Amino acid sequence: MHEPLQGVFAAAITPLRDDFSIDLNSIPPLLEFLAGRGCHGALLFGTTGEGPSFRPAERIEALRVAQGWRQAHPGFQLLAGTGTPSLQETIELTRAAFELGVDGVVTLPPYYFRKVSDEGLFAWFSQVIQRAVPDGKAFFGYHFPNVSGVALSPDLLDKLKTTFPARFTGIKDSSGDPDFVRLLGKQFGSELTVLTGNDSLFSLALTSHASGCITAMANLYSPDLRQVWDSFIQGDMAIQEQAQSRLNEVRAVLGRYPPFPPLIKALIARQYAFPRWPVCPPLIPLSDEFMNQSMDELKALG
């Protein structure tokens, strides 16, 4: 079986050049930054990483560069976003990611046909798992119905876990729904690996048997997320609650300036002297007005 995937993962931004190609040379310093600030790992090409904006070949080349950096950082775990609306492209990209040596993949459901049945989704995921995921490797479904338009129901998750116990690991839950968080914990316990995508629900997810988080805010606030994680592991509820309260305040500020990719890219450039990387259309850069406004609000939090 694969090593447990747990802890704080950054939903990493993707460095781009002005022509919207991936800035491969900037991937190692970005990963070095995330590792140095307490992240246990990173997801490349998730939503914050603008994953669906890039061809499989572009994602594979960037993953190759990330794997090269990781040779000197074997404890840092890498996940890859491999979902596309195309079954065959998803299979090929997932297979290539595992061949490169990533620790796991996070795969969106096919997000064009939004009213398909659980039976149809099971057939689609079954093909990907059977044809692209080796036994003992970590495969996560990506539950983000507000964006993808396709939910992963508990019944579907149960069927996938029962059918593929050595390959279907769990989900990244970006629903932002506390009731769904509790339901997952009650129904599956620790049998399903859940990584929450919402910083405000991190403590709730951990007490509901989640294994960690994958969030956009981890690009900027991973020390705070680590404080929640470390305090939870140590059983220090007071520190955990204090750290979670700060995360809630920061998340409330950032939530006023959607979407996250241009916001995170603007703030990481302003706060940590990274380049002001562009975002790929149809996303547009955060305006200077909103960047200054968000910075002022964050500074007011201390």
Euclidean distance between the first and final Cα of the chain, in Å? Answer: 43
Q: Which of 64, 14, 39 is nearest to 212 (CA)?
A: 39
Going along 159-291, which residue ranges are E strands?
A: 168-173, 193-196, 212-215
Q: Return d(Cα 65, Cα 49) in angstroms, integer.
A: 15
Residue 112 annotated to the active site = yes
Instruction: Exactly one of 82, 84, 90, 142 is catalytic; name it.
Output: 142
User: Please, is 81 exposed, middle or buried when counting C-beta atoms within 10 Å of its C-beta (0-12, 13-18, 19+)?
Assistant: buried
Q: In the chain, helix, strand, coil percent, each to 5?
A: 50, 15, 35
Active site residue 137: no
Answer yes or no: 142 catalytic.
yes
Cα 164 to Cα 152: distance, rounded to the nearest angstrom: 16
What distances in angstroms separate CA 205 from CA 76, 93, 170, 225, 229, one per listed residue? 22, 30, 14, 13, 11
Where are the strands (E) in the chain, listed by range? 7-11, 41-44, 77-81, 104-107, 138-143, 168-173, 193-196, 212-215
Give the span between the Cα atoms of 217 and 93, in whole angstroms.
26
Among 107, 172, 196, 265, which one carries the catalytic annotation? 172
SS3 215: strand
Residues recognised as catalytic:
47, 112, 142, 172
